[in-house]
């Protein structure tokens, strides 16, 4: 009884304490604060930590600070998908502000060729501080209110010296849409009597949660590929300033404590210089000191890694900067029971705030060493580059200018220089065509980044990875490429990268032909079919007017259409421009190969597509599909929630896409309903784990290989590492393809690269024509896979297509839409949809 009473008392005092908390809980108390600077409460209406700050209020406060303080300027760098501003504050002394362009120019110039020595005296260090890239890890962004206030309002010698020697690029929210989504959840479920019960609804967000951005992407995997607006804005700031330190404030499980980098020493990418980690460790001493003072537990080096350069704490490491990850145990809502007692939201905010300040203290004190580190990074990179003078990488696809453009676009964002090819040439047995290929000289500033983007790596110091182990860009784009080609093939440098515009070769009164290789052809085809215009697909190649047309060529006849000759021509002109594709006017049906009236031209119907979302579905994978259709192909798809299946009229759709999922979000009768719909002619496309219920619910007879690895001489301590080593965290594999199969239309080579992060190994069909895509004998191209898994994967298939009644089941073991940058396999899904009748 007494004990219970005591516990009650503790609860009470903590919850009360949280409701009564004010700035004194967080801020250093031995200094003065400028009363002319608005406190967070005076603008957002509550103390920091009492509620979860919404992004709108965060924006309001940052503008209020910028208005009130001569230490702060603010810029709006663009909009998220939900039209929220992507802000950046520049915080430094008023004197530095008065010559900010000079400071920036000098800072960046030190990383360029021609800066023979570095004079560090009087030169500020540049620190980029960013918060809550995962929206439901909100202590970072809420601590940002305090950090910005402190930097604007604190008085005294320390802050004066700090601001004189430091330029802070302050990014209050890395993920505005996610932060807003989560704040809504946590606030709307908060009780007056704070409830620490982990089972309270407050701590259990609805699908898909606030971690991700609008299309459910993990923004902390997009720093390198930069496919999303939030990343693009950041990358511009990064290259504009070349910060010396970049911090990334996260949260982890509720029972943890606080983590700061360095991460696991054996999992550092080998292209990252050793000194980077030494400096990270020295910076860590400052975090330890500061956390000791407030009595917070923490750890370092035991988890997380610096391998994949697409993460915020690792991307800087290949760009001469030092990336630092912070992870705070999450209260998720306002207060939660944990192994370390009651964890309050203010406590989590205070740790983040403390680490933000200790970062700045480290930066100020280590300024010279870190400036010299960056200078040396580029000096050494330049000498590595000089050794490769005259050598280059060429990439391109002579049938797909758009894919080539989008890869070049990534290089462009990262300030990697490239050139047109001077004239068509062949290297490594691949043909590179002017206008469809680019050359990247190795001898340039960002040569290390080029290596990180283009290299294939299959040997590793460690066999565990926090994220993917391979991201080789030309493979992800499925473009041809060759390394070690001569720069003599280089034409003019591309400074103003332009999308190749599409066109129709002329007006026809007979027919038009369009090859299927270009990336955006599905966008055009969908528009045509949506206007009830007739189009057909060629099941075989043909030759006409001296031009070879590949499998999958689209035929648009002129006669008997809903538009007359002129209107059709006008429309095609417009669509060809919109979709950047080439359409040829032809005047005869007689060809070498199948004639235009052949039965091997099959009529196409518009797809009516739903993608399953909600409980049981992996939100990242579903979001990638939504994003692909919505933003790339302008194709409308219905996001059909698993909870709506029972009342849905499925006859509205002819295609249902099921990203990786268990069937757990649906009842038996929902699954049965979907099965009946397939039997009546629907096409269901399933990915990854979905294949398991396709098998168990008898949608399709699929057979999987079981891999069992016996633990021999593995101690208890080694168990996790042993098991982890059997995962495929994300690697790239080679498959042979049968180009005559409609699933492969639009691919010009006989092999493709596939991304895989599952250990689902599917056995091939006994009839070879039913195995249009098949892993090669030794399929690893880049990344980590254990030997037993590699043996199992050999000669299996990533795809099976089975009939079910009048319908079809299309089963992919691998994600063809990974993180929006795997352009190379997007067409497989498009083929499954547009050519579903022909599969």
Exposed, middle or buried by CB within 10 Å (0-12, 13-18, 19+), for 671?
middle
The span from the CA of 835 to the CA of 563, in Å, is 24
Number of residues that bind Zn ion (CB under 5 A): 3
The span from the CA of 644 to the CA of 242, in Å, is 49
By the rule CB under 5 A, 250 interacts with Zn ion: yes
Whether residue 487 contacts residue 422, with contact meaning beta carbons closer than 8 Å, is answered with no
Please report how close the Cβ of residue 137 comes to Zn ion at its closest, in angstroms.
5
Whether residue 756 contacts residue 660, with contact meaning beta carbons closer than 8 Å, is answered with no
Nearest to 709 by CA among 722, 698, 697, 696: 722
With contacts defined by CB under 5 A, name the span among 86-94, 134-142, 172-180, 577-585 that binds Zn ion. Answer: 134-142
Output 84 or 250, the one with its CB closest to Zn ion: 250
By the rule CB under 5 A, 221 interacts with Zn ion: no
Output 250 or 334, the one with its CB closest to Zn ion: 250
The span from the CA of 637 to the CA of 568, in Å, is 26
Enumerate residues 432-471 that contact Zn ion by CB under 5 A.
none
Enumerate residues 321-380 that contact Zn ion by CB under 5 A.
none
Enumerate residues 761-780 that contact Zn ion by CB under 5 A.
none
Residues 6+ away with beta carbon under 8 Å from 20? none
Output 80 or 212, the one with its CB closest to Zn ion: 212
Whether residue 473 contacts residue 408, with contact meaning beta carbons closer than 8 Å, is answered with no
With contacts defined by CB under 5 A, name the span among 130-138, 508-516, 623-631, 756-764 that binds Zn ion. Answer: 130-138
Please report how close the Cβ of residue 385 comes to Zn ion at its closest, in angstroms.
34
Whether residue 210 contacts residue 179, with contact meaning beta carbons closer than 8 Å, is answered with yes
User: Which residue of this chain has its Cβ atom nearest to Zn ion in the complex?
Assistant: 250
Cα dist from 816 to 222, 225, 697, 812, whole Å? 17, 16, 24, 8
The span from the CA of 784 to the CA of 466, in Å, is 12
The span from the CA of 234 to the CA of 172, in Å, is 12
Output 210 or 783, the one with its CB closest to Zn ion: 210
Output 313 or 582, the one with its CB closest to Zn ion: 313
With contacts defined by CB under 5 A, name the span among 133-141, 196-204, 261-269, 810-818 that binds Zn ion. Answer: 133-141
Please report how close the Cβ of residue 232 comes to Zn ion at its closest, in angstroms.
20
By the rule CB under 5 A, 134 interacts with Zn ion: yes
By the rule CB under 5 A, 413 interacts with Zn ion: no
Enumerate residues 312-331 that contact Zn ion by CB under 5 A.
none
Please report how close the Cβ of residue 252 comes to Zn ion at its closest, in angstroms.
7
The span from the CA of 682 to the CA of 39, in Å, is 59
Strand partners, 544: 547
Please report how close the Cβ of residue 220 comes to Zn ion at its closest, in angstroms.
6
CA angle 22, 73, 130 (to 5 degrees): 60
With contacts defined by CB under 5 A, name the span among 126-134, 271-279, 585-593, 661-669 that binds Zn ion. Answer: 126-134
Residues 6+ away with beta carbon under 8 Å from 29? none
Output 137 or 177, the one with its CB closest to Zn ion: 137
Output 137 or 306, the one with its CB closest to Zn ion: 137
Please report how close the Cβ of residue 250 comes to Zn ion at its closest, in angstroms.
3
**HSE-up of 226 (CA within 13 Å, CB side)?**
21
By the rule CB under 5 A, 414 interacts with Zn ion: no
Output 134 or 414, the one with its CB closest to Zn ion: 134
Please report how close the Cβ of residue 259 comes to Zn ion at its closest, in angstroms.
11
Enumerate residues 137-156 that contact Zn ion by CB under 5 A.
137
- Tell which phi-psi region holds residue 209, choosing left (phi > 0), alpha (psi between -120 and 50) or beta: left
**CB burial string 382-391: b at 16+ within 10 A, e below:** beebeebeeb
* Residue appearing with tokens 């966008």: 523
Output 250 or 527, the one with its CB closest to Zn ion: 250
Please report how close the Cβ of residue 170 comes to Zn ion at its closest, in angstroms.
19
Output 149 or 182, the one with its CB closest to Zn ion: 182
Binding site for Zn ion (CB under 5 A): 134, 137, 250
């Amino acid at each position: 009884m007494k004990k219970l009473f005591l516990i009650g008392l503790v609860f009470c005092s903590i919850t009360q304490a949280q409701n009564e908390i004010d700035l004194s809980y967080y801020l250093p108390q031995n200094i003065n604060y400028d009363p002319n600077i608005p406190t967070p409460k005076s603008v957002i209406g509550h103390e920091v930590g009492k509620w979860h700050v919404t992004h709108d209020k965060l924006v309001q406060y940052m503008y209020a600070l910028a208005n009130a303080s001569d230490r702060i300027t603010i810029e709006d760098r663009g909009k998220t998908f939900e039209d929220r501003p992507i802000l950046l504050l520049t915080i430094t002394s008023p004197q530095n502000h008065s010559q900010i362009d000079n400071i920036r120019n000098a800072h960046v110039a030190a990383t360029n060729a021609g800066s023979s020595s570095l004079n560090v005296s009087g030169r500020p260090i540049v620190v980029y501080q960013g918060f809550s890239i995962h929206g439901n890890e909100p202590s970072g962004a809420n601590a940002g209110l305090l950090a910005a206030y402190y930097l604007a309002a604190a008085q005294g010698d320390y802050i004066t010296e700090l601001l004189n020697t430091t330029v802070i690029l302050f990014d209050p929210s890395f993920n505005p849409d996610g932060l807003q989504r989560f704040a809504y959840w946590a606030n709307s479920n908060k009780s007056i009597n704070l409830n620490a019960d982990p089972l309270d609804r407050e701590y259990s967000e609805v699908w898909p949660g606030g971690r991700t951005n609008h299309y459910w992407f993990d923004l902390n995997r997009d720093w390198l590929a930069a496919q999303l607006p939030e990343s693009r804005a950041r990358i511009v700031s990064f290259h504009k300033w070349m910060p010396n330190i970049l911090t990334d404030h996260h949260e982890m499980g509720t029972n943890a404590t606080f983590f700061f980098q360095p991460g696991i020493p054996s999992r550092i990418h080998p292209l990252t210089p050793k000194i980077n980690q030494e400096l990270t460790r020295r910076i860590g001493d400052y975090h330890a000191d500061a956390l000791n003072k407030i009595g917070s537990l923490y750890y370092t080096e035991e988890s997380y890694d610096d391998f994949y350069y697409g993460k915020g704490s690792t991307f800087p490491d290949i760009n001469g900067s030092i990336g630092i990850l912070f992870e705070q145990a999450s209260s998720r809502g306002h207060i939660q029971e944990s192994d370390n007692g009651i964890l309050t939201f203010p406590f989590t905010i205070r740790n983040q705030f403390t680490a933000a300040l200790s970062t700045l203290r480290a930066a100020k004190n280590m300024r010279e060493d870190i400036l010299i580190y960056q200078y040396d990074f580029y000096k050494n990179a330049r000498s590595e580059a000089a050794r490769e003078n005259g050598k280059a990488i060429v990439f391109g696809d002579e049938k797909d200018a758009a894919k080539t453009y989008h890869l070049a676009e990534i290089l462009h964002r990262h300030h990697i220089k490239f050139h047109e090819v001077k004239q068509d040439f062949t290297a490594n047995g691949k043909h590179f065509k002017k206008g469809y290929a680019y050359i990247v000289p190795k001898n340039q500033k960002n040569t290390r980044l080029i290596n990180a983007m283009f290299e294939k790596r299959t040997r590793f110091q460690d066999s565990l990875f926090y994220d993917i182990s391979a991201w080789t860009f030309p493979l992800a784009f499925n473009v041809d490429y060759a390394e070690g080609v001569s720069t003599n093939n280089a034409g003019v440098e591309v400074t103003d990268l332009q999308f190749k515009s599409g066109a129709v070769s002329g007006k026809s009164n007979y027919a038009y032909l369009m090859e299927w290789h270009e990336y955006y052809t599905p966008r055009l085809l969908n528009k045509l079919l949506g206007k009830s215009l007739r189009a057909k697909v060629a099941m075989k190649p043909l030759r006409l007017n001296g031009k070879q047309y590949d499998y999958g060529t689209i035929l648009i006849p002129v006669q008997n259409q809903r538009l007359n000759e002129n209107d059709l021509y006008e429309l095609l002109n417009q669509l060809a421009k919109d979709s950047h594709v080439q359409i040829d006017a032809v005047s005869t049906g007689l060809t070498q190969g199948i004639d235009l009236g052949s039965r091997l031209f099959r009529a196409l119907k518009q797809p009516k597509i739903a993608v399953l979302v909600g409980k049981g579905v992996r939100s990242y994978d579903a979001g990638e599909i939504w994003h692909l259709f919505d933003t790339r192909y302008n194709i409308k798809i219905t996001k059909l929630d698993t909870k709506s299946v029972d009342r849905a009229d499925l006859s509205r759709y002819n295609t249902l896409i099921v990203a990786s999922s268990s069937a757990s979000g649906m009842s038996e009768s929902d699954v049965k309903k979907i099965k009946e719909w397939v039997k009546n002619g629907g096409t269901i496309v399933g990915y990854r784990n979905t294949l398991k219920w396709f098998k168990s619910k008898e949608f399709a007879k699929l057979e999987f290989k079981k891999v069992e690895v016996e633990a021999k001489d593995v101690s208890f301590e080694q168990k996790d590492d042993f098991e982890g080593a059997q995962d495929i965290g994300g690697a790239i594999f080679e498959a042979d393809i049968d180009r005559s199969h409609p699933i492969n239309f639009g691919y010009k080579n006989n092999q493709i690269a596939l991304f895989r992060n599952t250990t689902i190994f599917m056995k091939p069909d006994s009839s070879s024509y039913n195995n249009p895509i098949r892993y090669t004998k030794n399929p690893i191209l880049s990344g980590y896979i254990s030997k037993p898994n590699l043996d199992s994967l050999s000669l299996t298939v990533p795809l099976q297509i089975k009939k079910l009644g009048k319908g079809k089941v299309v089963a992919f073991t691998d994600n063809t839409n990974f993180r929006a940058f795997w352009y190379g396999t997007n067409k497989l899904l498009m083929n499954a949809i547009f050519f579903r009748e022909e599969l």
